[in-house]
Structure 1
Amino acid sequence: MAEIKAIFIILVLTLVSLVLIPLQWIAIRLRLPVQRKLPHVWHLVATRLVGIRIREEGAPADDRPLLIASNHASWVDITVVGSLMPLSFIAKSEVSGWPIFGLFAKLQRTVFVNRTRRTETGQVADTIATRMAAGDAMVLFAEGTSNDGNCVLPFRSALLGAATRAVANGNGSSVWVQPLSVAYQGFYGLPMGRAHRPHVAWYGDMELAGHLWGIFRHGALDVIVRWGTPVLVDGTTDRKVLTRQLENQVRAMTIASLLQKPVDSGELEPSEFFSNAEKTAKAGA
């Protein structure tokens, strides 16, 4: 039965893709607003078919420009996060060359980063800043790699500079950066536990095709997504301090989700991390 289910999912997703791919290609070429929404529809269909149940706590910021900084355990994160709202991702350049996934990433209007060429970081940050200024919510997997789903790795500050660069380039006086936690809690309605979390986590030298087939055969995942406190970034914001704040928030939310307990609010908002712009906003609230 599991094999039949997997084949059914692949067939339906193929049919949906054959309909949406040409529509998205046209929307991108003609710069139609629907180019933001069609990938969202695909991810909604995919999560429903696979049986991924998502519990969302908190909400994405309504304000723009917006950069979302998330943890990263698996390629499944992309479908989970993509099903929440219209958005685009920031990914390593190698993804653009992957079969099928590379095409989907391009159609999602992903910004690709070549991590071996640090001289391009500023140019990529400018591209991300321009996209945010145009109203696109951009998602950055700030660890720079995926992990086993049981922890949050240190965040890298380089591309978080896109937020401060957006301000410096005159794309507004401030930019919102919001932390996001994705945690896999259950499998077929039962607690997943540390030992079984690699079923969904994709990291190291795991083969993509085999992992993908396994998810299609044994979906039924329970995921909790937590939105953290948005941080208002202005020209005075220190990029490294911002990185630490976001990392602390995401780690606290992820640990709470894995342990199935409330988030310790004291860990989420260390006051010394607030930018001048955010202090002003809080004072005027």
Structure 2
Amino acid sequence: MNGRARLALILGLVVPLTGILLPLQLMAIRKSGRLRRRLPQTWHRIVARLMGLHLRIHGEPAGTGDDGVLIVCNHVSWLDIVALGAAAPVSFVAKEEVSGWPGISLLARLQETVFVDRERRRTAGTQATRIRERLAKGDAVVLFPEGTTSDGNFLLPFKSALFGAAGMQAGETDFPVLVQPVAIAYTHLHGMPMGRFDRPVAAWPGDIELGPHLKGVIEKGAIDATIIFGEPFPASTFAGRKALAAHCEQAVRELVSLALRGRTALLSGSEKR
């Protein structure tokens, strides 16, 4: 099947799938039950399979559905949303401008995305509080602290502003918050290992338009993504957001390095797909 036919087929299946799940998700959000987390995961799993996105998952997502978990992950591409959304029942923190993207904004709202304006530093405390409210509901919330996407080969420095959502200071929260470092890397294309010059196939740096990149990924298909869930720890382990951010950056950097070098066999636990 050629690329255009693949694109037409996938769109022809994803649109009705979304139409079927949309009213169910709206009802689930109103009732605020666990189904509101599981329906988006089902959508992402189906879409990942249709796109040919193969997941290699190491470790386990933290959280039991009762205690909130702040998932701290590197950010490579819009594909991260599909991959992580298929791997675990999560919501995301996204930049405010995404709330205005046609189509994408609807999907983001159905997954209860928290929109933040990273340019308005004075409101960082308020935005962290909004994330903390979701953690209080027992949700798993994914934070991309690089603030933008990378080329898939290196991490960008982590920004600490929104780490305040973990509420490390005494009295900031009356519930336990777990923090879990997570790494995502795109490693194979049609079964062949990607080198550093091949990763732009999956990586989506900020200067590339979304539409053409999405079209290119779907037409190529058969991309392997490795996701490593690191060891979770209580946010209260650290006294402040900057120390927490620095620790998470180092932990994620080490996990990404393992994934890119194909050293995941060193990790405990078996690989899942």
* TM-score with structure 2 setting the length: 0.92
State the partner residue of 2:104.
101
2:32 & 2:42 partners in 1: Cα distance? 18
Deviations 1:108-144 (A, max 9, x none): 0000001122222111111111111111010001111
Q: Secondary structure at the match of 1:47?
A: helix
1:81 matched to 2:81? The reply is no
1:262 & 1:33 partners in 2: Cα distance? 31
CA apart distance, 1:166: 8.4
1:66–1:176 CA contact under 8 A, matched in 2: yes
1:243 & 1:186 partners in 2: Cα distance? 30
1:179–1:228 CA contact under 8 A, matched in 2: yes
Match of 1:188 among 190, 195, 199: 190
Letter of the 1:248 counterpart: Q
Match of 1:71 among 74, 95, 115: 74
State the partner residue of 2:26.
25
CA apart distance, 1:50: 0.6
State the partner residue of 1:223.
225
Q: Which of the pair has the greater relative contact order for Cα pairs under 8 Å at 6+ separation?
A: 2
Quick one: structure 1 residues 165 and 110, their matched pair in 2 at CA, closer, same or farther if it must change by over 3 Å?
Answer: farther
What are structure 2's unaligned runs of at least 5 residues? 268-273
| 1:121-270 equivalent positions in 2, closer than 5 A | 121-164=124-167, 168-172=171-175, 174-234=176-236, 237-262=239-264
2:58 & 2:266 partners in 1: Cα distance? 14
RMSD: 1.8
Aligned residues between the structures = 264
1:50 & 1:235 partners in 2: Cα distance? 40
| Identical-pair percentage | 42
Letter of the 1:227 counterpart: F
2:166 & 2:76 partners in 1: Cα distance? 24
Q: Which deviates the most, 97-106 or 162-171?
A: 162-171
State the partner residue of 1:36.
37
State the partner residue of 1:16.
17
2:63–2:140 CA contact under 8 A, matched in 1: no
Q: Secondary structure at the match of 1:184?
A: strand
1:185 & 1:91 partners in 2: Cα distance? 25
* TM-score with structure 1 setting the length: 0.88
